[in-house]
Chains A and B, each alone.
Chain A
Amino acid sequence: MKRGLFSPILLMALTMAAGAAFGQELIPPPANNITVPETELQMEAVVIPPPRKYIVVIDPGHGGLDLGVRSSKSILEKSVALKLAFSIRSMASKYPNVNVYLTREGDLERTMLKRLELANSNRADLFLSIHTGGGFAPQTRPMEIFIAGNKNKSRAGEWGSQNWPYRKANYRLANSLSKRMAQLDSKIKINIVETGGMMLEGLAMPAAVIEPVDLSNPQDEILLEESKRLRQIASAITRGIIDFLDVKEPVDEAETSDE
């Protein structure tokens, strides 16, 4: 019994003695002296990713006196573009990491350079301009998605050719959008057009111009009379943006509470 009691006491005493003898080593060194290998830091960053907020600038084309295309039934491009932009912002608000800004929130006239300035000065992660197709006569044209062209032909004023490093990202964005739009209508034809004529070169971020409907196409005009058509288009564009940003789908709160 005495041995049984003695042994732990002796063990504690020995431990304390050792601690007293080598106390400096037991006290943890100051934090700034910690030298953690770089690989460990990277692993740590992967494990706990910082919250990433994506800034998306949606640009409803035209506005004010600039009507854009006018259909035979007097549907205006500037109105369609604004409605789509509002819907996209509403749908994207479900994603907490995505903040959507519009270049105009009413029937306002803004120059393209002003729109560029808004996106660049806010360091947006993506710029998407919403337009519609149209011509002088009724026509059935493929849907077009425009991305920036040759950097040597940039005419975006002082903004120059800032978009050139994002050339591949532009293609990825256009592909994401076109895939989602193709799901909307299997018969639809979509062209990705690289052009130097739309000032996209001045944007320091992945950027595109999309014309999801053609107001001189009689079929599109009929479809637009249904309010759900615009919502479908807005949904397809939103999903294309989310695909490009690789943002996870929002998790339902109910599912979170169950877990």
Chain B
Amino acid sequence: MSNDKGKDPPVDSDGSETIELGQEDMAPALGKWNIDKPPAPDAPIDPSVDSWNLESNPETEPTANYEPVPRLIPVDEIEEVGEGSHLIKNLAEHPQERGDLDYDSRPPVMETHGDQPLEEEPDEDSSSGDTRYLILMGVLILIGAIVWLVPNPGWQSSPLENTNAEMLGSGQTTAQTLETTSIKLYVPDPSLSFLITASHPVNLPPLLEKRIQIVLTELFAEKRAVNAIYPQGMLVRSVYVSKTAAIISLNGSFRKNYHTGAWTELLAVYSIVNTVVGAFDQVKKVVLLIDDMEEEMFVSHVDISGSLYFDKSLVKIVKNPKGKSKNNSGPLTGGKNG
């Protein structure tokens, strides 16, 4: 509790425990609580004085610049009466009721006498209240900081750019909840003509977003995909699942080293889409973001401005000019794992 004039409210004379009440509890009756001594009667009115209090009780407040000091009530009084704040208010407004409540038999905390100014007992340690308050605040801040930091062990690095090692590292702490699953990754065939499936055992946590992120990290590290349809260092910034759409944000730095034709880019985009949609039943479509932003093109050929769906035939190769039909549906007959 702050005391802006440097004086703490007096403690109980017998050293018994006191309770401090909020200013809002006592303000209507006791007025402003910051008087060291009442000002002279002819002193100008302090504009900081609460005017409503002065005007509302002109009889109980004989001088316009008089400001009574709040009272501190012993705990046992509060307990005895039951409704502490109401009682204090009533007592202040109707001092005669004290006798009814046997209040005078108690050791007085602070005497108010008609229009006499209050006498405050000397305070041996005037700064003890402030110190306690500061210590309490410090402890609360410390506890808050600990609570905030403990569930975010990765606070020192960007939470969005988790590498596979980081994810697996955090997964070790919850090894009991990991589930080893064989995931079909869609990777290009050696001639870069189609996508083929490659099964990989992956430890997956329960959270769907994390599962997708781990599967994609596995895909971007797949030896048949790296330097074929992806450059090295492809990173997933974040994954968010909304209803049936997996919104995947990729780190855009890969685009600097991505100088390929349309076909390679198509394989790269649908490698991601088919892997994610194929692996998780909950996901029906994929939205690709680059650095958390919607982009028109994956790099410079393939449109990613809308939702992307699993393409079983990837892209349909109709025929070559010699009339030989090319059916690429074979390698892409991947079922769903998730």
Which of B193, B231, B309, B315 has the most A CB atoms < 10 Å from its CB?
Answer: B315
Asked whether A142 is an interface residue with its Cβ less than 8 Å from the other chain, the reply is yes
A135 touches B321 (CB 8 A): no
Interface of B is mostly: loop
Q: Give the shortest distance, in Å, between A113 (CB) and chain B (any CB).
A: 7
- Which residue from A112, A134, A149, A171 sits with its C-beta under 8 Å from B261? A134
Chain B residues with Cβ under 8 A from A199's Cβ? 303
Interface size class of chain B, counting residues whose CB lies under 8 Å from the partner chain: 35 or more
Contact A146 B305, beta carbon cutoff 8 Å: no
Instruction: Determine whether B306 belongs to the interface, using a CB cutoff of 8 Å to chain A.
Output: yes
Q: Report if B274 contacts A (CB, 8 A).
A: no
Q: Give B299's nearest chain A residue, CB to CB.
A: A66
Q: What residues of A have a CB within 8 angstroms of the CB of B300 in the complex?
A: 61-62, 66, 68
Q: Which of A5-13, A49-57, A152-160 forms contacts with chain B?
A: A152-160
From known contacts A131-B261, A135-B192, A198-B303, infer whether A149 and B316 are also in contact, taking CB-CB under 8 Å: yes
Per-residue CB contact flags for chain B residues 307-326 toward chain A (1 = under 8 Å, else 0) read: 10101000111111100001
A66 to B270 alpha-carbon distance, docked (Å) = 22
Chain A CB within 10 Å, residue with most, of B191, B263, B309: B263
A177 CB to nearest chain B CB (Å): 10
**Which chain A residues in 178-197 approach chain B with CB under 8 Å?**
178-179, 182, 189-197
CA distance A228 to B304 in the complex (A): 37
List, in ascending order, chain B residues with CB within 8 A of A123's CB.
Answer: none
Cα(A82)–Cα(B305), bound, Å: 26
* B243 CB, nearest partner CB in chain A, Å: 19
Interface contact A149-B315, CB-CB below 8 Å: yes
CB distance from B223 to the nearest CB of A (A): 13
Say yes or no: is A247 at the interface (Cβ < 8 Å to chain B).
Answer: no
Q: Is B20 an interface residue (CB 8 A)?
A: no
Given contacts A135-B228, A155-B305, whether A111 and B261 have CB atoms under 8 Å apart is: no
- Is the C-beta of A59 less than 8 angstroms from some C-beta in chain B? no
Q: Decide: A113 and B296 in contact? CB cutoff 8 A.
A: yes
Q: Are A178 and B303 in contact (CB under 8 A)?
A: no
- Closest CB in chain A relative to B300 CB, distance in Å: 5
Minimum CB–CB distance from B263 to chain A (whole Å) comes to 6
In the bound complex, do residue B301 and residue A136 qualify as a contact, i.e. CB atoms below 8 Å apart?
no
User: B residues engaging A (CB < 8 A)?
Assistant: 191-193, 227-229, 231, 259-264, 266, 269-270, 296-297, 300-307, 309, 311, 315-321, 326
Given contacts A135-B260, A194-B318, 10 further A-B contacts (CB under 8 A): A62-B300, A68-B259, A136-B229, A136-B264, A155-B304, A178-B321, A192-B319, A193-B263, A193-B316, A209-B262
**Which positions in A face B, CB cutoff 8 Å?**
61-62, 66-70, 77, 111-113, 131-137, 139, 141-142, 144, 146, 149, 153, 155-157, 171, 175, 178-179, 182, 189-199, 209, 211, 214-216
List 29 A–B pairs whose Cβ atoms lie within 8 Å, in order of A's numbering: A61-B300, A67-B259, A68-B300, A69-B261, A77-B261, A112-B303, A132-B261, A134-B264, A136-B231, A136-B264, A141-B193, A146-B262, A149-B316, A153-B309, A157-B305, A175-B321, A179-B321, A182-B321, A191-B320, A192-B318, A193-B263, A193-B315, A193-B317, A194-B315, A194-B317, A195-B315, A211-B262, A215-B261, A216-B261
| Top-6 shortest CB links A-B | A155-B306, A133-B261, A195-B315, A134-B261, A178-B321, A70-B259
